[in-house]
Amino acid sequence: MNYDTSLHQRRRPLTTSELDAIPWIHLLSSVERERTVDDLKIADADPGEFVCRTGRPVTYWFGVVDGLLKMSSDNAEGQTMTFTGIPPGGWFGEGTALKRESYRYNIQALRNSRVAGLHVDTFHWLLDHSIGFNRFVMSQLNERLGQFIAAREIDRMNNPDIRVARSLAALFNPALYPGVGEVLRITQQELAYLVGLSRQRVNESLTALAAAGSIRVEYGGLRVLNLQALRATVFASKVVV
């Protein structure tokens, strides 16, 4: 199995409300949905717990029903590089599942999270039988490619405000993370883990973005007021450089 045994042992069927929170479940026919619901499982991941780890073979395709996960990898020197956060509504690992290969990254819970899993065999069965599911996966791959290209560009820059804006814009992506909406439930410390900056520096960047009218800092999270302006902060970096 590709995630911690304790997490696997805690798996259970999804409730009706948890199923309704899955963005692609409504694209399936009645026959496809019946097989999928029978196979879907969900488990509660504790803070710091790994959902999957580098080098382990893929057996499930995962999605976040509630909580926040971190995608990262460790280099030869033991340094950790964070790729992105995965908020509610986000499904990940379709590329690995398509190729049935081992994971090249770690997925770890930053807070108490509910993580659903679809067995890789059912994932491939849906690819063979469902046009709606195929379109969803294709859209996921396209959106994620754009996300990582933008992340690669910004990682070469030393401006912390741009790094914070980039991370927030990515987390508010409605195609990849439809469960977020206008409010992202995240603490400044959690955002600092994702961006790779101190909490104090993240606070300064959030203050600047709030002053510009892009976001509003609320109790327990961030509300996006102008997503286009938030994205423009990212793209403006190309002009600066």
More confident residue, 206 or 145: 206
- The mean predicted confidence, pLDDT, of the chain is 88
Distance spanning both ends of the chain, measured CA to CA = 45
Taking 60 as the threshold, does the pLDDT of residue 78 lie above it? Answer: yes
Phi, psi (5° rounding) for residue 208?
-65, -40
pLDDT category, 125, cuts 50, 70, 90? very high
Instruction: Give pLDDT tens digits for 164-220.
Output: 888 888 898 888 999 898 889 999 999 998 888 899 999 999 999 999 899 999 988
Which strands sit side by side in the sheet containing 91-92, from one edge to the other? 41-45, 113-119, 60-66, 91-92
Domains of the chain: 5-147 (2.60.120.10), 157-240 (1.10.10.10)
d(CA 47, CA 58): 22
**Confidence (pTM):** 0.84
Taking each helix axis from N to C end, the angle separating 227-235 and 160-171, rounded to the nearest 10 degrees, works out to 140
Q: Which residues contact 25 (CB under 8 A, 6 or more apart)?
A: 19, 33, 36, 37
In angstroms, the Cα distances linking 113 to 44, 125, 181, 236 are 6, 27, 18, 34
